[in-house]
Amino acid sequence: MDSKEEHPPAAEANGLSDLNKETVDLEHIPVEEVFEHLRCTKEGLTTEGAQQRVEIFGYNKLEEKNESKILKFLGFMWNPLSWVMEAAAIMAIALAHGGKDLRGNSMGIDFHDFVGIVILLVVNSTISFVEENNAGNAAAALMARLAPKAKALRDGTWNELDASLLVPGDIISIKLGDIIPADARLLQGDPLKIDQSALTGESLPVTKHPGGGVYSGSTCKQGEIEAVVIATGIHTFFGKAAHLVESTTHVGHFQKVLTSIGNFCICSIAIGMTIELIVMAAVQHRPYRQTVDNLLVLLIGGIPIAMPTVLSVTMAIGSHKLAQQGAITKRMTAIEEMAGMDVLCSDKTGTLTLNKLTVDNNIIEVFTRGYEKSDVVLMAARASRLENQDAIDFAIVAMLPDPKEARAGIEEVHFLPFNPTDKRTALTYLDAKGKMHRVSKGAPEQILNLAANKSEIERKVHQVIDNFAERGLRSLAVAYQEVPEGTKESAGGPWQFIGLLPLFDPPRHDSAETIRRALDLGVSVKMITGTFLVH
């Protein structure tokens, strides 16, 4: 029997239930202890064991509120304007009976007014309900098509399954391009490059080493490794953030306006009805039915009965126009709330910018005679990977007219990948004459420490780096050396500090125009990002 099946089901369920209460910090304890607490091994779970964990932890997706369609429909009748109309309907059916008309005939219940008011209420609610229901169905269909998959080790074999079926204790495989399906701890293997910009706003991928944690919703940009799932659904970092946003209660601008109009109408009508009741009943001694009819006229005529219908139709048209532009409106009142926006808080990475690193070729700084800006780019490209690239390698190689130029006319001998200690990459290669050379790119301080003439150029290098930083640019240094010994292990000759490359995440082509239009409309734009302070 496998070790993962040694625990009695009841004992295992009790232990896992404690984990569901988040009493153990699985993100920071040693990985070996993670396996102990999760009652699992590196061989993965069985199908039966995974099903038991689904019953304890739930599915790996955010909780959705199952709202009754009937209650949702009736909810559109619960607002101040509807209250006045409902009060008029009650008066028409309950109070407006008896009495005689001008010809002396007995008058019955006023069904005409009652039916007319009810029809208006139903029309208002139906339009809003149908539009929001259609938008919700469209959003659900879109999410179903985009349902992520995950590769998990179940019953001793690797299987691709819906990410919603993952449970804590599952062993998953993460490779280049994968969206992390759940919070997990990395097992043995090479470091990963993880894009967490959707969670933290960091424009550059983060290096994650074995034993480190990765978050649901982030993307693997480089590497391949196995990991053990430690949290799913609402218990993930992303799930907790989504729950906090969802749990906030906020009355929108649209609802405030409707409430204000409704309250004003109610107060005005109440005052008018009180005055009319005193005058007609106490002063003029009008007949009961005539008094009630006049009160109904005042009650119905004093409210903008058609306004909810007009607003519903207007927002429905807006919803359809947004849908034509690829935007799905799940709640129609959000359209009016957005129209009444005062402050727009925008993320930087991927929203105002393209989330795509680029080299500014115009301000590349060259430090060695005999080299041009194009030579600095070529040397940096040689010190980059052509396959399985990270964001920096991709940006630099993309500067060449043809990516193949990075290896044209040379023979690769050895490539040193980036690591957090050296903070640089390096390529040792042979030229067409058989001579060995080495080129390196990386953090400016690390490359500067290699340079033979560090003392002569250090001040200028720091000045250029500061100038780049003032413009919101990152700096990448490039160095070159000859290797006369002819072996990849040799130290080589003196390093030459060739130049500095400015890296930046370019703004979207429409960002400036969008911000300008927002400012013209009186909307204050704020950039909120993990890279800089709030501006």
Q: How far is CA 172 from CA 49, 234, 381, in A?
A: 16, 19, 34
- Is 319 within a domain? yes
Domain boundary (308, 324, 340) is at: 324
Q: Are residues 160 and 309 in the same domain?
A: no
Q: Are residues 228 and 284 in the same domain?
A: no
Q: Are residues 288 and 422 in the same domain?
A: no
3-state secondary structure of 432: coil
Which of 232-246, 313-327, 341-355 is predicted with the least confidence, judged by mean pLDDT?
313-327
Structure token pair of residue 167:
């449970």
Q: Are residues 367 and 397 in the same domain?
A: yes
Q: Are residues 22 and 162 in the same domain?
A: yes
Q: How far is CA 127 from CA 308, 312, 506, in A?
A: 10, 6, 43
Q: Give residue-wise pLDDT tens across range 461-477.
A: 999 999 998 887 889 99
Q: Give residue-wise pLDDT tens across range 103-136.
A: 555 555 667 778 888 888 888 788 778 877 776 6
Q: Are residues 450 and 384 in the same domain?
A: yes
Distance CA 305, CA 313 (A): 14
Question: In which band, very low, low, confident or very high, does the pLDDT at 304 lie, cut at 50, 70 and 90?
Answer: confident
Residues 234-263, mean pLDDT to the nearest whole number: 74
Q: Are residues 160 and 219 in the same domain?
A: yes
Domain boundary (239, 263, 283) is at: 239
Nearest-5° Cα angle at 373, 371 to 376: 70
- Is 475 within a domain? yes
Residue type at 276 in one-letter notation: E
Q: Are residues 317 and 195 in the same domain?
A: no
Q: How far is CA 99 from CA 110, 289, 502, in A?
A: 12, 5, 89
Distance CA 81, CA 83 (A): 5
Containing structural domain, residue 9: 3-62+147-239
- Is 209 within a domain? yes
Rg (CA), the chain: 34
Q: Are residues 27 and 48 in the same domain?
A: yes
Contacts for 393-396 with beta carbons within 8 Å, 24 or more apart?
393/425, 394/357, 395/356, 395/357, 395/358, 395/359, 395/503, 396/359, 396/441, 396/476, 396/501
Return the CATH number at 96.
1.20.1110.10
For residue 255, what are the contacts with CB-CB under 8 A and spacing of at least 6? 79, 333
Structure token pair of residue 315:
């927002």
More confident residue, 9 or 447: 447
Return the CATH number at 36.
2.70.150.10
Task: Count the neighbouring beta carbons within 10 Å of the beta carbon of residue 274.
Answer: 10
More confident residue, 373 or 222: 373
Q: Which residues are catalytic?
A: 347
Domain boundary (277, 303, 324) is at: 324
Q: Are residues 166 and 22 in the same domain?
A: yes
Q: What domain count does the chain have?
A: 3
Phi, psi dihedral angles at 402 (to 5 degrees): -140, 120
- Is 532 within a domain? no
Is pLDDT at 11 greater than 50 in this prediction?
A: no
- Is 197 within a domain? yes
Q: Give residue-wise pLDDT tens across range 448-460.
A: 999 998 989 999 9
- Is 531 within a domain? no
Question: In which band, very low, low, confident or very high, does the pLDDT at 390 lie, cut at 50, 70 and 90?
Answer: confident
Q: Are residues 463 and 391 in the same domain?
A: yes
Return the CATH number at 390.
3.40.1110.10
Q: Are residues 94 and 12 in the same domain?
A: no
- Partnered with residue 416 across adjacent β-strands are 426
Query: For residue 503, what is the enclosing H or E element?
Result: strand 496-504
